[in-house]
């Protein structure tokens, strides 16, 4: 009888877990920043965009607490880039953004506790600090999107729009 219960439990577990659909972005969200001058659609190169605390200190991803990659390093955005193979249509590495800047974060990332700091390494543009909010996350798995769509207020999966000012 013990064996029968063990077999039934095993079969029930198999059936239950085999029906769970997974998304390629499970446990991951993105923050996307569309940063440009007024009237210009291109994002300038050589900007340094980092996640900072309320005091302007760079956030360190200690033991991958905020992101699954680049552990124990500052949380710095990357500019999206084109990837292609010969004979194929060009596409962006992160397909949900164009030449924007982006960073991968865990779904549990507490966006409301941080800001983004935008600095121009060439000194052309003024430095800006913009508070983050939970709706700034690109939540890419369908179950999370469904949950977000039932909520009122600003929607997810939109880049943070930043207009640069010249020095």
Q: Where are the domains of the chain?
A: 23-164
3-state secondary structure of 59: coil
Distances (CA, A) of 74 to 40, 41, 46, 62, 101: 29, 28, 17, 9, 15
Q: Yes or no: say if 102 and 30 are a contact pair by the CB < 8 Å rule.
A: yes
Helix or strand (DSSP H, E) at 83: strand 82-83
Residue 95: predicted pLDDT: 84
Helices (H), the chain: 2-18, 142-149
Q: Yes or no: say if 107 and 144 are a contact pair by the CB < 8 Å rule.
A: yes
Q: Which residues make Cβ contacts (< 8 Å) with residue 138, sequence separation at least 6? A: 29, 30, 31, 32, 96, 156, 157
Query: What is 23-164's CATH number, 3.30.40, 2.40.50, 1.10.3470, 2.60.40?
Result: 2.60.40
Give strand pairing partners of 104: 30
pLDDT tens series, the chain, 167 aa: 666 555 555 555 544 444 454 555 567 899 999 999 999 989 999 999 999 999 999 999 999 999 989 999 999 999 998 988 888 888 888 888 889 999 999 988 999 999 999 999 999 999 999 999 988 998 877 554 445 444 555 556 789 999 999 99
Residue 120: predicted pLDDT: 95
pTM for this one?
A: 0.76
Give strand pairing partners of 31: 103, 137
């Amino acid at each position: 009888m013990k064996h029968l219960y063990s077999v039934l439990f095993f079969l029930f577990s198999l059936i239950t877990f085999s029906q769970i659909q997974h998304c390629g972005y499970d446990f991951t969200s993105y923050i996307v920043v569309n940063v440009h001058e007024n009237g210009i659609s291109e994002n300038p190169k050589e900007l340094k965009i980092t996640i900072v605390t309320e005091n302007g200190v760079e956030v360190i991803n200690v033991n991958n607490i905020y992101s699954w990659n680049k552990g124990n390093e500052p949380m710095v955005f990357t500019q999206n880039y084109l990837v292609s193979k010969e004979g194929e249509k060009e596409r962006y590495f992160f397909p949900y953004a164009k030449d924007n800047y982006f960073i991968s974060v865990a779904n549990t990332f507490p966006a409301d506790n941080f800001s983004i700091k935008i600095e121009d390494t060439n000194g052309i543009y003024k430095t800006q600090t913009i508070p983050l909010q939970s709706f700034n996350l690109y939540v890419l798995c369908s179950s999370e999107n469904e949950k977000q769509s039932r909520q009122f207020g600003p929607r997810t999966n939109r880049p943070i729009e930043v207009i640069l000012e010249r020095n």
